[in-house]
Structure 1
Amino acid sequence: MGDSFIGFKKINDILTETISAVESSREQLFDIVEHTQNECKNIESELKKIREKVDIIICEVDKLEIAEKRSRIELANVSKNFHVYNENDIKNAYEKANDLRVRLTLKREEERTLIEKRGELEIRLKETIKVLEKAERVSKQIGVATQYLKGNAEDILSTVGDLSKRQFLGIKIIEAQEEERQRLARDIHDGPAQSMANILVKAQLCEKLLEHDVERTKKELGSLKNIAKTNLNDIRKIIYDLRPMTLDDLGLIPTLERYIYNFMEESNILVELKVLGDIVGFESAIEIAVFRIVQEALNNVQKHSHARKVNILVEKTFTRLNISISDDGIGFIIEDEIIDKDIRSGGFGLMSMKERAELLNGKLKVKSSPGMGTKISLSIPLNEEEDICEK
């Protein structure tokens, strides 16, 4: 027992030091990511200016080429008809042609230089974006490793010899959490945070204009109102993605109806929802599980099935809540260990749905075959007696 305790302590010490080193590296990596993001923005800004200059100079070169061609024709005509034009006319035509030729040569050189610079900037931008993507990917992986290492030493030891599908799911869930946090951070930074900064600038401008230009102030206030409205919509969308508030306010069916409506607008896939029974009064855990399972199923339909129509049936009996989600998509071959294969191949959609069902003592089944679509069936017991009878 004493030896085991010492072993656990050593492993905990190693884990603590490892986590500390990993977190320190992660902070440094965050600095690299931030620096690379700023570098991308600077290159994009410079590239935009160069492209504008290239467009302008191309137009100038085209115009000079036309003018230079005309001047050569005019010089040839004057030289050919020397008995009609005097020496001064010939001199002027020659100087004009020569001047245009010199200007055209210089402009072409300037065009070539700018195009080369544009090409170099485009290559730099691509390389910088690659570095940024790698840094973000490594940052996410370090986050996953940190969260995983922070687990209890005894739990880690007990699972070292036999990695199960739950461990795979745990890793995938942590990855999903990191991705979701990163996405939320970006959404908030690019949406509400930017809008709030814009609102502050507009408010300061209105404050300065108020005593000098009332009409301009009214116009700026209108713009400020639109920015605030857009910001509010962005925040509501972020909140809805985290947890639909309508689940608490209106219940499961209205929330599903709203989500299905938005899904159809976005995907152009027809979804028909049929409800049997009185679908009210469920525990919050059941409602959120059903909503997330339907959400994940529709997400899979949009990504993989090529379906044109989805039928969803929500049925409440005396003892169970049954949900059926079927599509007319391409389907797939279901093997004995389809869910294990799903998690081990890098995905966790089916596994996530199955885990949600099992947490509520429910069952989730998937039926599919090539060309025949896919059907997902979920059944959740609504009382303990029913669950005991099932067992």
Structure 2
Amino acid sequence: MQADAIDQVIKSAIEVMESSKYQIFDLAENARHERNELMKEQEEVKAEAIKTIDLVDKLELDLRRSRIRLSEVSRDFRRFHEADIKTAYDNANLMQLQLTLMREKENHLRTRRDELQKRIKSADKLVQRAERIVFQMDIVLGYLSGDLSEVSHILETAKNRQMLGLKIILAQEEERRRIAREIHDGMAQTLANLVLRSEIAERLLAKQEYDVVKEELQVLKSQVRGGLEEVRKMIFNLRPMALDDLGLVPAVRKYAQDFEERTRILTKLEVKGKEMRLPSGMEAAIFRLIQEAFSNVFKHAKATFVEVELLFGMDYIHVKFSDNGIGFNVGKTEQIITNGTNFGILGMRERLDLLEGKMEIVSEINLGTKINMEIPIRPQNKEENTDG
């Protein structure tokens, strides 16, 4: 009877999730269609801006000629009559008016271009979120659509290797999406804007408007520096160079500094004991544990202060992580972890299991959170002796 009841619940959940998945898919398609329309309009605005700039150039040339003509007829009263002077004056005024209107149109097109760029970026984010949700729902539906005995087995063994494999797949896909999103929203947009601004600067240079060109070049320089900084941050997030070159402590110190600058959450790092180099794989695993703890604070804790303590012992390294955030109910969270839905803490526990370490979490509502991790270490020289 319990199996039948569970089977019915699962079937109902599958129907609801299938319906929701297609609704989310429709939202993604609508957002994608809107993005394509915005990109098409952006291309039209760009083409119109180029035409307007060319027309402004022509009008400026015509205005110079009309002013020269007005100057000529104004000086020579013997050759030209009052009607000639009036005609030259009217032409000069007309050229000035048309030039003013075209310059206003050019400014309007630039503003519209920037607005379209922001809307395209927003539509991209909506599409990516919807695709991520559909992807996660497909994974869940794949498990729920299997045999009831298999589902029961998964529920009873939430911490086994299948859950670890699922978490790794999700983490890999999420990381790929994050990297693609960072490149698209960061460097790709920056490079596209640089191309457009360089074209504008080139045209302004041809018109000898050096002050405006100087301002455009300053903006270009600022954007190049920002893009370079984004690339450096992406490289550090993928694999901190300091971790291989200098070791665990410098890499953690650099990450804590970047975390404080990025989130405005005050951080403090304290190192105790005799610092030593560890095997590369162990240093990477401990760094990822600390990185995940920082990520959890940023996503959930609403903290203003984070403290990390690294204590190097003879046979163990202790990592103490604490924050002054809103805290949480440890018992309920542990239950969620058992069900395999909290991948942040679950991933930390699984990393520690691979390192033969252990973790203790102490937290209360509105009293912050403390995480104590203890990891057995074997320095590189001891490993070499063991291998020999």
Under a length normalisation based on structure 1, what TM-score does the superposition of the two structures give? 0.56
**Aligned to 2:271, what secondary structure does the other structure show?**
strand
Counterpart of 1:293, as a letter, is L
Q: Could you tell me which runs of 5 or more consecutive residues in structure 2 were left unpaired when the two chains were aligned.
A: 1-21, 42-119, 384-388
How far, CA to CA, are the matches of 1:272 and 1:30 in structure 2?
44
Deviation at 1:358, TM superposition (A): 1.4
2:252 corresponds to which residue?
256
Which of 319, 332, 346 is the equivalent residue of 2:341?
Answer: 346
Are 1:380 and 2:369 matched, yes or no? Answer: no
Deviation at 1:255, TM superposition (A): 2.2
1:229 corresponds to which residue?
225
Deviation at 1:193, TM superposition (A): 1.1
Contact 1:361 1:381 in 2 (8 A): yes
Counterpart of 2:248, as a letter, is L
**Aligned to 2:300, what secondary structure does the other structure show?**
helix
**Aligned to 1:282, what secondary structure does the other structure show?**
coil
2:193 corresponds to which residue?
198
How far, CA to CA, are the matches of 1:211 and 1:307 in structure 2?
54
How far, CA to CA, are the matches of 1:382 and 1:131 in structure 2?
44
1:108-147 to structure 2, matched below 5 A, reads 132=127, 135-137=130-132, 139-141=134-136, 144=139
How far, CA to CA, are the matches of 1:43 and 1:205 in structure 2?
21
**Aligned to 2:330, what secondary structure does the other structure show?**
coil
Contact 2:267 2:305 in 1 (8 A): yes
**Aligned to 1:383, what secondary structure does the other structure show?**
coil
Distance 1:34 1:250, change over 3 A: farther
1:67 corresponds to which residue?
none
Distance 1:262 1:347, change over 3 A: same
**Aligned to 2:153, what secondary structure does the other structure show?**
coil
Deviation at 1:137, TM superposition (A): 4.1
Are 1:316 and 2:307 matched, yes or no? Answer: no
Are 1:174 and 2:182 matched, yes or no? Answer: no
Are 1:291 and 2:291 matched, yes or no? Answer: no
1:1-391 to structure 2, matched below 5 A, reads 33=28, 36-40=31-35, 42=37, 132=127, 135-137=130-132, 139-141=134-136, 144=139, 162-163=153-154, 164-165=157-158, 166=160, 167-203=162-198, 213=208, 215=210, 220-335=216-331, 338-339=333-334, 341-342=336-337, 344=339, 346-370=341-365, 372-383=367-378
1:53-76 per-position Cα deviation (integer Å, ceiling 9, x unaligned): xxxxxxxxxxxxxxxxxxxxxxxx
Counterpart of 1:274, as a letter, is E
Counterpart of 2:260, as a letter, is M
Deviation at 1:211, TM superposition (A): 7.1
Deviation at 1:261, TM superposition (A): 2.5
Deviation at 1:280, TM superposition (A): 3.4
Contact 1:329 1:372 in 2 (8 A): yes
How far, CA to CA, are the matches of 2:131 and 2:328 in structure 1?
33
Distance 1:339 1:170, change over 3 A: farther
Counterpart of 1:287, as a letter, is E
How far, CA to CA, are the matches of 2:125 and 2:253 in structure 1?
40
**Aligned to 2:180, what secondary structure does the other structure show?**
helix
1:270-315 per-position Cα deviation (integer Å, ceiling 9, x unaligned): 3322111233312222222222222222332334334443332101
Give the number of aligned pairs: 274
Deviation at 1:352, TM superposition (A): 0.8
Distance 1:210 1:311, change over 3 A: closer
Under a length normalisation based on structure 2, what TM-score does the superposition of the two structures give? 0.56
Distance 1:343 1:300, change over 3 A: farther
Distance 1:245 1:31, change over 3 A: farther
1:307-346 per-position Cα deviation (integer Å, ceiling 9, x unaligned): 44333210111111111112344433433x8545225263
Q: Which has the larger radius of gyration?
A: 1
Contact 2:340 2:346 in 1 (8 A): no
**Aligned to 1:357, what secondary structure does the other structure show?**
helix
Deviation at 1:354, TM superposition (A): 0.9
Q: Could you tell me which runs of 5 or more consecutive residues in structure 1 were left unpaired when the two chains were aligned.
A: 1-25, 47-124, 149-155, 387-391
When the two chains are superposed, the root-mean-square deviation of aligned CA atoms in Å is 4.6
